Structure 1
Amino acid sequence: MKIIKSAYLFFASTLVCLFFAFPASAQQKYELNSDWFCANINEVKVGGAELSKPDFPVNQWMKATVPGTILTTLLDNKKVPDPFYGMNNELIKDIYHTGNAYYTYWFVKSFNQVAKGDEQIWLQFRGVNYKTEIYLNGKKVNAQVHEGMHLRQQYNITSLLAANGNNRLAVLVYPPDFPGNPNGGQGGDGTIAKGLTTQYTAGWDWIQPIRDRNTGIWDKVTIEKTKVVNLQNPHIVTLVPGKRSVDGLQQPAIIKASAELINTSFKPVTGTLLMTMAGKTSQIKVVLPANKNTEIQLPQLLLQNPKLWWPNGYGEQNLYPVKLQFITSTVSDEENLNVGVRQIETTFNTHTQSMETTINGQKIFIKGGNWIISDAMLRFSPERYDAEIRFHRDMNLNLIRIWGGAITERPEFYEACDKYGLLVFQDFWFSGDANGRWYDPLKKEDQWIRRKYPDNHQLVLTAAADQIKMIRNHASLAFWCGGNEITPPDDILLPLRDEILPKLDGTRTFIDFSNSDAMSVNTFGGNGDGPYGIQNPRTFWTNRTFPFNSEIGSVGVGDYESLKRFIPAANLIAPQYQGKVDSVWQYHKYIGYDQYIKPYGDVKNVQDFAQKAQLVNYNQYRALMEGFSAHMWDWYTGSIIWKTQNPWTALRGQMYDYYLDVNAALYGLKSGSEPLHIMLNPADSMITVVNNHFVSKRNLMVKAVAYDMAGKAHFLDQIFYEINPTTVKKCFSIKGAIEKLKQKDGLFIQLSLLDEKEQVLSENFYWLEDEDGTYRGLQRMDKTTLSIQPKVISKNKLEVKLTAPSNQPVAFFTRIALIDRQTNKRILPTFYSDNYVSIMPGTSKILSIDCNNVDLNNCEIEVYGWNVDRVSKAIF
């Protein structure tokens, strides 16, 4: 779905109208995204009326990045160093110490636009942080200063346009009133939460402070042309009654639709609201009162044999183009959306004591990741969103939770989630840390005062209504949540839950806060989430935790190539077991791997550390999701990993780094989250199969083979099984064989799940420690040499066939990368069907590689592994 207009109509005068709304897309709509200039308020001696005159000279001003923050503009103009590299962030002045004027800026933009006939011209801001004054051609546009980061603006500027079309826009942007002391607390001293802005910018345990607190015109500025009636806030509801199958003929779905129609004229307007979907139409003729915003409900549309939208791993993500138009003698305005036909419901599972989700009548086991924000400096793009959500799809996840200390995610994020089948759990803007759940000596004010944050409660309700309308038509949006680990104050919570959401959405479950008992009954003590930090893989199978865990997980150090991108060479010092950690590593929030690295041998250098960290990453996240899946519907209805991405160069909680380079955690999680998956219980050596599909799987061969460190195969067993829908099947134990073979050097175990045609449906490969709990055998493994055969499939796709000799050991934990031949740097992002793979002696594995807008003639394939020397292979 395209950008949606929001809803609130306020006539500041007969000339200028303010709406908290935007269209999803519209006739003749364009962005003002280039040729902006800016200057600090202290450097400007005139006001907005003078600045917004077309002849006022600004060519000596600094070029501004819009959309973008002031820090982004300063970085783009080389006024500050890259705050994500090393400890450069310490070299940038913090707003708490400089005062707000240091980051208060004027932005100016010239553009050409006239209004012809009955055209109405609208100026739209999708996000400004934090307060805004707007001038156009010498006149004030907004009668009152706009406040609030999470609140859009729209103004009818028709009467303010210059007759010759040469227009000058001037925007004064103020930072948050309370930027907070970045004193090392979660959200600094907490006062950042007194306003409606991003709490993480004062610092958290996974990020250093963002010095300008995200001040700026951070989201799109657009101009739209309509006729007399402006169509905004379309609302599409899809009802899919009954329990549906993924394939075959479907019973009809019901489509409900409405839209707001703003009559900008001083007389009633007669016209027709028309919706077109799948070749069918729904329409209604209406008379719109003068100078009013009227919501119109269309007659229901019955969609025959609908192509349904399913979450990732359960079915296709079908989307229908939908067009809404208001027509008089001509089309006055129109909106275009992409709609997924699906119905999301929740029930309370009394056995697990947690929330259970159904899509189109089928229960879905939630495998999710926590998301902060795509970029901590708000440098968003559809391409980056698409890549990040694709990574989550590739990890076989089906949900992303948007953490409450950041933003309501952008429509482009939701478009990617619609495309790839990721359900979204959207928090509103509260956190237990800044908003007073816990006592914290680092906070400036006590819990009783912080519990009432933010100061302007009505602003929160206005912004919530606006953001609901912005994203409510997306198929991927599944849940609303009041806040991260705490509810909003009651005079926000109750109107939001009981009035605003039922009126403006009404189709999704609202959860008061992220770890409430309504989602997951907390009978274990603590906060209702975690544990955090590295766990012994056995604990995920044996230790029961919260039945729908909203946050669990920790590590995510990238490999050596990743570390080099943001850690200076002098600081590339490997952390030692229980030893000192370099200051740059600490600054980037390193979590110790300590005893989990040590079994692989003493760390030789940072390259060795990074490689061994990948072994820990892979095992950690595979075991996490396997342990939860093994207890599906018995202990658990879902789990959400903390966290799957980082908005800056942190050293924790990520499956790929800030630069979109993957680490082994992604592929461990990809394996453990497979919809149909074979796995080994590390506690009792029971082979188990989980089937998330809605149909039984018959005549499945479960096969187990062991390999010793020399590469010799030891057949263990193979048995046929049948597995029911959405169930877990315990097959057979190989404990005795493991104990017999493991001895002093450890052991490899390869599990395979095959169909009747002997096609592999799932494969899993484990490395087992020796009897002392170490990996001495791995440390003594002989080298092996792989044959590498690239094959181009299409312009941006290729396959790589890796073949291991029959007379050498397993090619263990092998990494492939697509690199630029001239620079020897990795092509980012690149999407691999699998990575960090192991190839058995005498066998081959084919990996597919997908990249965008890359000339493969200039690329090579790099391959290296635990016992495989680094080599590069030309593609052509």
Structure 2
Amino acid sequence: MLKVAVKIFIVLALASLSLCAAARTPIAVHAPSVAPERLELASNWTLSSADELTVSGDALSSDYDAAGWYKVSRMPATVLEILRENGVFPDPYVGKNLRDRVPQQLYEKDWWYRDEFTAPPGRTTYLLEFPGINYRAEIWLNGRLVAGAERVVGMYVAHEFDVTPLVRPGERNFLAVKVTPERALQDVDGVELADSWNDWINWNYLGFPPADGDPDRRGTSFVPDRNAGIWKPVYLTAVGSVGIGAAVVNSELPLPRTDSARLTIRTDLRNYSEQRTRGVLRATITRPDKSEVSVDQVVTLKPGEHREITFTPDEFTQLTFQHPDLWWPYTMGQPTLHDLRLEFRIENRLSDDKELRFGIRTVTQHRDDSFSADGGDFYLTVNGKNFPVRGAAYTPDLLYRNDPDREDAILRYAKDLGLNMLRFEGKLASEQLVEKADELGIPIMAGWMCCNQWEKWEQWDTEDYGVAMASLRTQIQLFRTHASAFVWANGSDGLPPPHIRARYRAIIDEMHWQNATVDTVSLLTRDANGVALWDGIDMGGPYTWRPPSYWFSGRYGATWGASAEQGSNEQIPPYASLKRFIPPDELWPINDTWYFHAGSQPKNAALINAQRTIGLRYGPSYSAEMFAAKAQLAQYEGARAQFEAFAAGGWGTHKMTIYWMLNSPWPSFFGQLFDYYLRPGGAYFGAKKGLRPLSVVFDSYATDNAGPARISVVNQTQVDEQDLAVRVRVYDLQGNVKADGRVNGIDVSAGDAVEAMRLPRGLANSPVFFVRCQLTRPSGEVVADNVYWQSQQPDDVGDPTNDRAFESWQASWADMTALNSMPPVPLDVTARHESINGQDTVVVRLRNYTPNIAFFERAEILSSRDGDEILPIEYDDNYVTVFPGEIVEIRGTVPREGPSANWVRLTGHNTSPIAIPVT
């Protein structure tokens, strides 16, 4: 364990994120004759284990022959990702390779990264920037030590070094970085302040289980290198004698009015010279109409001085905008961005510049009066309007693989689903992803990870405290510039102690954070005086599947309020994905290779809940393909119901739900709306139905005990709707209509839900029946078509005490097995190309000439007849039901730069697979 003796020195060192490598020699004050430049050091990197070397950093950062080292195709990259890329072991994401074929003690070694680059000539100051190294590092440049491991520490701490005396402008430079992975703490149950995967990967196989064997305690999950390495980009910035540091634009709206906005610009300036320096700082804002607003300020800096400079609307009236273009979440309006350019000039020559994009918006946190004694449920308003959160939890790749295209695809999926917030619990994402979220209008909730050293405050020593505060300062500095950054959480499952909480809050205030801040998202606790210490958010889980009636019942704590984690920890991908990571001889029956890719909690780890749920409701499975197909049915039901219940339940009691999770860090069975291969399955399309802006919802006979069901029209848009019509039909398994009702003239306000009708029980005599709800406009346009399958034997979780996290227990289970004997239906299927906004769209038409129902039909767009589905891909709908004599169309949009769409494969619950060409 690498710890230094003098802890006070570490805290002082970490408090400043800009550290000088060596004493500066006096220089004349002048600006460069060429423009500043920020160079990403992305190529020419190599990697070696320190165990295999006999030389030290001075030699490695000189003209050293590293021909035998592992090549890095592009930085950033963690150690394990580089080894994977170099084919050191078989694909770690397949089978149990990550445990059996990868050395598990990679974290016990130090690792050397090495790079060669040419520094741009003609500048006065050269800065070396490391936004993310995990966990410690020695940094060497051209044979000299820039900083040691006692100063470069913390996964989430950014570091900047003035390396002017060491750089060779216009010549080859040699950079060597010795990385020390996160290590276990001595004599305590913990590690260091990096990140872990908690129960996202199975600690029974990767990492270590609870030391005392208590199944109710959490272990700690790791990959073999503990995600060691340089995991964020490295930059060399060349500027004049004065540099521009972090900047932010804060906006103030005169709410409830939004007809003006007062902007405040703040930025840091640093004088890197040993001379008193005078110059002009100019800030230029470019509005969406391309008009510009500029403000100037003369600044004089002492030698080496670092100072924050502020432009306020009181001093500069130009910074009060009339009729501003506001940034909105995409579900509420346009996410309009403005451009800011900062320039510092000395004697009218450019010393440094910086550009960023920002949004004019105000995010405000509130508490309602639902639990007046404890402060009520948390909620947000944006620009004065209520913001019902319908989100999901994001994760990066398990090896922190740098893949901007994949990040873009994930964000497009989030928007396609209709999600309006992503939560980062630890795993703080790349800035590229956050920038894209700004552009797309997808808000973000970020904060520290639960259950590892970040919440084991009693184990913190002086170094940990310093790392924690420096990490917070770095992350707030990064997120505060982004319009999409809405919420910061200082804790997840726990509440930081008062002294840590107070320091966290002070840093957040110092950093001019103007968004929501919570100290915990999971628990209600009280201080010594009985005062509630609670931010109004809980984590209702229940971390296992629940039936639709559960979500609508209002009987269970997870079904109302504001929750940061809801959903099931066990999600089975479609069979096409299963085949990619479970070896053929391990596909069936379910075995420990499946468990290896599951979560860690005792029931989740063996997929007991998924097997129970699917088996009891849909009948036994005899193959992996059958089990995966039935899983899509259950997962569709559960995800749809969660989001529909929060929509139909109304704003008053349903402020926030965040699905656990959006995606998975590797091929797994852990909570996900789409799998690692970006294949959307049942949960995806169920959630997409539940998140429709305007829809009609059936409550599965849940909200009126033994009485009729409620059919509601939900309007999750910003526009009032009038004169809508609802039609509800009930079908038996043979496709016969057993009931048909209609209600006209329905009005529903923006963000509201109204009851349209009630549906009696006993309308169909088959053991399973279908409830079909359609919402139409007076023109006849079908706005929503929602199909539910129901059992005469209801699901009943039972008494609320039966609602236990991580376990699926019910007083009774619906019997859906009659679906397995539905009459087979041959569909007439055609597919054609259409071009929409320059993108290739395939229209799949399903026609049912028979008197029977074709149920749960899945279309897949392929490049070759027997190939895999083109991924990523977006469909307007899928897993559709085609009623007798009707036509259903599915539209799939193919990525612009992906393979061509030539075939469509159709599979269904009671139809034989068919593949047809696209014409």
Query: Which interval holds the TM-score relative to the shorter structure?
Result: 0.7 to 0.9
Q: Secondary structure at the match of 1:317?
A: coil
Aligned residue among 351, 372, 375 for 1:332: 351
Residue 173 of structure 2 aligns with which residue?
167
Is 1:780 equivalent to 2:821 in the alignment? yes
Aligned residue among 61, 64, 68 for 2:72: 64
**Compared CA separation, residues 344 and 164, structure 1 to 2 (3 A):** closer
Is 1:686 equivalent to 2:710 in the alignment? yes
Offset, 1:304: 2.7
Residue 154 of structure 1 aligns with which residue?
160
**Compared CA separation, residues 333 and 455, structure 1 to 2 (3 A):** closer
Offset, 1:605: 1.6
Is 1:541 equivalent to 2:548 in the alignment? no
Question: AA paired with 2:914?
Answer: V
Offset, 1:642: 1.7
Aligned residue among 577, 582, 591 for 1:562: 577
Q: Secondary structure at the match of 2:670?
A: coil
Offset, 1:288: 2.5
What CA deviation, in whole Å up to 9, does each residue of 1:697-756 have, x standing for no partner? 2111122123333334452223321112322211211124xx12x212422222122223
Residue 611 of structure 2 aligns with which residue?
594
Residue 20 of structure 1 aligns with which residue?
none
**Compared CA separation, residues 537 and 857, structure 1 to 2 (3 A):** closer
Q: Secondary structure at the match of 2:858?
A: strand
Distance in 1, Cα, partners of 2:184 & 2:84: 24
Aligned residues of 2:44 and 2:117 also touching (Cα < 8 A): no
**Compared CA separation, residues 236 and 123, structure 1 to 2 (3 A):** same
Distance in 1, Cα, partners of 2:24 & 2:236: 17
Offset, 1:803: 2.8
What CA deviation, in whole Å up to 9, does each residue of 1:163-211 have, x standing for no partner? 6601111111111132799xxxxxxx8412x334446499556984300
Instruction: Give 1:691-730 correspondences, 5 Å limit.
Output: 691-713=715-737, 714-730=739-755
**Compared CA separation, residues 863 and 433, structure 1 to 2 (3 A):** same
Distance in 1, Cα, partners of 2:899 & 2:538: 50
**Compared CA separation, residues 711 and 307, structure 1 to 2 (3 A):** farther
Offset, 1:811: 2.5
Aligned residues of 1:195 and 1:454 also touching (Cα < 8 A): no
**Compared CA separation, residues 765 and 557, structure 1 to 2 (3 A):** same
Aligned residues of 2:903 and 2:915 also touching (Cα < 8 A): yes
Aligned residues of 1:50 and 1:138 also touching (Cα < 8 A): yes
Distance in 2, Cα, partners of 1:46 & 1:395: 53
Distance in 1, Cα, partners of 2:144 & 2:486: 43
Q: Secondary structure at the match of 1:553?
A: strand
Offset, 1:625: 1.6
Aligned residues of 1:744 and 1:771 also touching (Cα < 8 A): no
Distance in 1, Cα, partners of 2:850 & 2:201: 54
**Compared CA separation, residues 455 and 284, structure 1 to 2 (3 A):** closer
**Compared CA separation, residues 375 and 125, structure 1 to 2 (3 A):** same
Q: Using the aligned pairs only, state the percent identity.
A: 24
Residue 444 of structure 1 aligns with which residue?
none
Aligned residue among 362, 371, 375 for 2:385: 362
Aligned residues of 1:201 and 1:211 also touching (Cα < 8 A): no
Instruction: Give 1:68-79 correspondences, 5 Å limit.
Output: 68-79=77-88
More deviation, 597-606/669-678 = 597-606
Aligned residues of 1:177 and 1:195 also touching (Cα < 8 A): no
**Compared CA separation, residues 72 and 448, structure 1 to 2 (3 A):** closer
Distance in 2, Cα, partners of 1:331 & 1:847: 56
Residue 40 of structure 1 aligns with which residue?
49
**Compared CA separation, residues 760 and 858, structure 1 to 2 (3 A):** closer
Is 1:139 equivalent to 2:150 in the alignment? no
Q: Secondary structure at the match of 2:509?
A: helix
More deviation, 482-491/198-207 = 198-207
Question: AA paired with 2:552?
Answer: W
**Compared CA separation, residues 853 and 616, structure 1 to 2 (3 A):** same
What CA deviation, in whole Å up to 9, does each residue of 1:121-143 have, x standing for no partner? 22211211111111111111126
The gaps in structure 1 that reach 5 residues or longer are 1-5, 18-25, 182-188, 245-249, 437-446, 575-580
Instruction: Give 1:137-536 correspondences, 5 Å limit.
Output: 137-142=142-147, 145-162=151-168, 165-178=171-184, 190-192=189-191, 194-198=192-196, 200=198, 208=206, 209-243=222-256, 251-267=259-275, 268-278=277-287, 279=291, 280-300=293-313, 301-328=319-346, 329-351=348-370, 353-371=376-394, 373-403=395-425, 406-429=426-449, 431-432=450-451, 449-450=458-459, 452=460, 456-497=464-505, 499-517=506-524, 529-536=540-547
Q: Secondary structure at the match of 2:733?
A: coil
Distance in 2, Cα, partners of 1:681 & 1:828: 33
Instruction: Give 1:646-657 correspondences, 5 Å limit.
Output: 646-657=664-675
Question: AA paired with 2:772?
Answer: Q
More deviation, 394-403/196-205 = 196-205
Distance in 1, Cα, partners of 2:410 & 2:657: 20
Question: AA paired with 2:557?
Answer: T
Aligned residue among 41, 49, 60 for 2:58: 49
**Compared CA separation, residues 137 and 435, structure 1 to 2 (3 A):** closer
Q: TM-score, normalised by structure 2?
A: 0.84
Q: Secondary structure at the match of 1:275?
A: strand
Residue 756 of structure 1 aligns with which residue?
778
Distance in 2, Cα, partners of 1:526 & 1:507: 20
Distance in 2, Cα, partners of 1:472 & 1:771: 52
Q: Secondary structure at the match of 2:906?
A: strand
Aligned residues of 2:490 and 2:520 also touching (Cα < 8 A): yes
Distance in 1, Cα, partners of 2:652 & 2:902: 49
What CA deviation, in whole Å up to 9, does each residue of 1:194-239 have, x standing for no partner? 3344464995569843001011111111222222221121111122
More deviation, 262-271/44-53 = 262-271
Aligned residues of 1:16 and 1:155 also touching (Cα < 8 A): no
Is 1:573 equivalent to 2:588 in the alignment? yes
Aligned residues of 2:829 and 2:916 also touching (Cα < 8 A): no
**Compared CA separation, residues 50 and 455, structure 1 to 2 (3 A):** closer
Distance in 2, Cα, partners of 1:521 & 1:864: 53
Offset, 1:384: 1.4
Offset, 1:770: 3.8
Is 1:733 equivalent to 2:758 in the alignment? yes
**Compared CA separation, residues 500 and 819, structure 1 to 2 (3 A):** same
Aligned residues of 2:523 and 2:538 also touching (Cα < 8 A): no
Q: TM-score, normalised by structure 1?
A: 0.88
Is 1:123 equivalent to 2:128 in the alignment? yes
Distance in 1, Cα, partners of 2:792 & 2:231: 54
Aligned residues of 2:19 and 2:160 also touching (Cα < 8 A): no
**Compared CA separation, residues 167 and 306, structure 1 to 2 (3 A):** same
Q: Secondary structure at the match of 2:133?
A: coil
Q: Secondary structure at the match of 1:369?
A: strand
Offset, 1:251: 0.8
Q: Secondary structure at the match of 2:436?
A: helix
More deviation, 631-640/356-365 = 631-640
Distance in 2, Cα, partners of 1:260 & 1:269: 15
Distance in 1, Cα, partners of 2:107 & 2:247: 42
Aligned residues of 2:366 and 2:378 also touching (Cα < 8 A): yes
Q: Kindly tell me the number of residue pairs found equivalent between the two proteins.
A: 819
Residue 801 of structure 1 aligns with which residue?
844
Q: Secondary structure at the match of 1:872?
A: strand
What CA deviation, in whole Å up to 9, does each residue of 1:362-385 have, x standing for no partner? 1011112123x2101000322111
